[in-house]
């Protein structure tokens, strides 16, 4: 038996482009079929499409911090208005769903100290809350988080002449972060 070496096939430009296009098409279909589970935020809500209104009564404040529940409620309402098409109403009787919340605790612990004075210069504030979104007609809980935690640091001035109370702005930032995370979690079903 005699082996013959064949000449390699000559590919023309047309055949090469056709092969690359076919390979690209197969790859696109394979990747589309696999899907990784990620989706674009804000595209589709996991909440019932039959809802048009959500009531957000003032969050219950179980802390000693003045107006904490009110500030967080206001931030959540602003976030819902900005990120959803729901009309936000104060009275649960006039809503399709009700978002209940309660502020359970707030604690501030020092994390950095001034080396010369020994005074705290940076505090870590932790707020713990509970939230529950309920379908008003069916009484079914659609979203619930009993251990919602938000943390933020704020600095304290060591110079009494330039003292500026950073706590209020820090609580404001925390309220906005809390609202943003809460609304995202509700919409995405986490």
Phi and psi angles of residue 129, each rounded to the nearest 5 degrees, phi first: -145, 170
Please give the C-alpha separations between residue 183 and each of 40, 74, 99, 128, 180, in angstroms, as whole numbers: 15, 13, 11, 16, 5
Give the count of alpha carbons within 13 A of 152, CB side only: 19
Q: Delineate the domains of the chain, giving CATH numbers in brackets.
A: 53-188 (3.30.160.150)
Q: What does the alpha-carbon distance between residue 134 and residue 144 come to, in Å, rounded to a whole number?
A: 9
State the pLDDT at residue 136.
94
Rounded to the nearest 10 degrees, how much is the dihedral formed by the CA atoms of 116, 119, 122, 127? 160
Q: How far is CA 65 from CA 60, 71, 171, in A?
A: 12, 11, 10
pLDDT digits (tens, 9 = 90+) for 127-162: 999 999 999 999 999 999 999 999 988 887 666 665
User: pLDDT tens, 27-50?
Assistant: 444 444 444 444 444 445 678 889
- What digits encode the pLDDT tens for the residues 89-134? 989 999 999 999 999 999 989 999 888 888 888 889 999 999 999 9
Nearest to 89 by CA among 98, 100, 79: 98
pLDDT band, residue 19 (cuts 50/70/90): low
E strand spans, the chain: 53-55, 60-61, 87-89, 97-113, 120-135, 141-155
- Measure the CA–CA gap between 64 and 61, rounded to whole angstroms: 8
The H helix count followed by the E strand count for the chain is 3, 6
- pTM (global) more than 0.75: no
């Amino acid at each position: 038996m005699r082996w013959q070496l064949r000449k390699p096939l000559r590919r023309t430009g047309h055949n090469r482009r056709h092969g690359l296009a076919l390979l690209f098409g197969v790859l696109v279909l394979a990747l589309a079929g696999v899907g990784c589970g990620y989706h674009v935020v804000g595209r589709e809500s996991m909440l019932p499409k039959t809802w048009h209104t959500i009531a957000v009564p003032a969050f219950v404040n179980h802390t000693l911090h003045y107006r904490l529940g009110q500030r967080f409620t206001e931030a959540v309402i602003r976030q819902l208005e900005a990120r959803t098409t729901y009309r936000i109403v104060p009275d649960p009787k006039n809503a399709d769903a009700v978002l209940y919340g309660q502020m359970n605790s707030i604690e501030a612990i020092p994390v950095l100290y001034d080396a010369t004075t020994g005074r705290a210069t940076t505090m870590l504030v932790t707020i713990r809350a509970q939230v529950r979104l309920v379908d008003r007609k069916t009484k079914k809980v659609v979203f619930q988080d009993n251990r919602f935690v938000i943390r933020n640091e704020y600095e304290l001035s060591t110079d009494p002449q330039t003292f500026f109370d950073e706590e209020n702005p820090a609580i404001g930032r925390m309220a906005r972060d809390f609202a943003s995370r809460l609304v995202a979690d509700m919409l995405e079903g986490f």
